Amino acid sequence: MPTDEITQKVSDRYAKAASSGEQMCCPTSYDMGHLKTFIPEEVLKISYGCGTPAGLQTVRTGETVLDIGAGGGIDCFEASRLVGPSGHVIGLDMTDTMLEIARKNAAVVATNLGYSHSNVEFRKGLADAMPVEDNTIDLIISNCVINLAPDKRKVFREMYRVAKSGGRFTISDIVADQTVPQYLVHDTQKWGDCLSGALTLTDYMNGMTAAGFLGIHLEKFSPWQVIDGIHFFSVTLTGYKLSPAMATSSAQYATLRGPFSRVTDERGTVYERGVPKLIKPDEAPLLSSPPFTEHFLLTTEPVQFGDNDPRWTAVLPAQAPCTWQGHYALLAGPFVEATDDDHHLYRRGEPLEVCSKTVAVLEAKGYRPHFAILNRAGERVSGDAVTCSPDGACC
């Protein structure tokens, strides 16, 4: 299906939904009771999404925020409240009907928030060709929209272009655990349902890294639908456009604390737990960002430690039989590869079948924020417990 045809059909679908009140595809978790206090019902009833990127404590006072696929404006208006009257919000959408509703309600929201004038503007445009100046955005948000774009890598490049140095994104979207087959890709109805355009988690995160973003990591995860054995699920991801490294006269070392025994970051640097590694000046800001801080010790002198050191962290599997229950684990950053203490090698976005003991490990503090766990079993599993292999590897 030609790209232009996909874009037009998706736009037509959402314009129709805005007029009819049709409930669209994706799971949401808005706090409607809170939003109703300042956002008109006309906006709330046409709000679609698969997450709440503006409501995850990602928006800061005074920032400039861009919402890709703003629709009726729900996320823009929540961002407007959070940035305060000194901040600025830009909502981007391609559908005239949505833009009309959003623009009409901007002044109402500003009044309800006690602002002298609206700090939100809505622009018509496409996600892969944004009418936004270079290096002007502190935070990019998007809620279940990028999967509707035919060329997502172009969208990611546009995001990187408009983000300020030191800027970031927090976006929610639908991804799949395997490549979507062609019979779904060419299903017009399922494009609007956030299915046909879904990338695998691997391709989605790799596309962001290729655009230049780093430190890409999972904020939230929620299973959604299974169609013909393909699991579609919602993820909310954050990543950074790093500032140029500040010149420094002293060397810096990074020592992996754990709980992973070995990790590889998005630049290909490998870290072994307890072993100091000399890092480049531009790597220190990355390792100081939220997804990394709990895992690394940064020092000006090399510091090596072993498993009896309180800075060493590990989560070991139970020494008992386990069961296979249909679980698959997907590493969702900020590392492209990671190894646990039971010899599992996780590659970002790739489903790896894991037993009950490994599920318990991955649900423990230190591991839990970095994994999406799906269950592919079609019915309740009743297999017998098995013993892990003699070499120590799990099952």
Position 6 scores a pLDDT of 47
**CA–CA distance, 120 with 195 (Å, rounded to integer):** 30
Q: What is the signed CA dihedral for 157, 56, 26, 158, rounded to 10 degrees?
A: -10
Q: Between helices 74-83 and 96-113, what is the axis angle to 10°?
A: 30
Q: Which of 260, 385, 391, 252 is nearest to 314 (CA)?
A: 260
Q: What is the pLDDT of residues 29-88, one digit of tens each?
A: 688 899 999 999 999 988 878 888 877 788 999 999 999 999 999 999 999 999 999 999
Q: How many CB atoms lie within 10 A of CB 186?
A: 12
Q: Which of 148, 147, 169, 151 is nearest to 160 (CA)?
A: 169
Q: What is the pLDDT of residues 150-194, one digit of tens each?
A: 899 999 999 999 999 999 999 999 999 999 888 888 776 665 566
**CA–CA distance, 340 with 347 (Å, rounded to integer):** 12
Residue type, 339: T
Structure tokens at 62: 């005074």
**CA–CA distance, 215 with 94 (Å, rounded to integer):** 30
The whole-number average pLDDT for the span 205-233 is: 94
The rounded mean pLDDT for the chain is 88
Q: Which residue in this structure is represented by tokens 């766990």?
A: 373
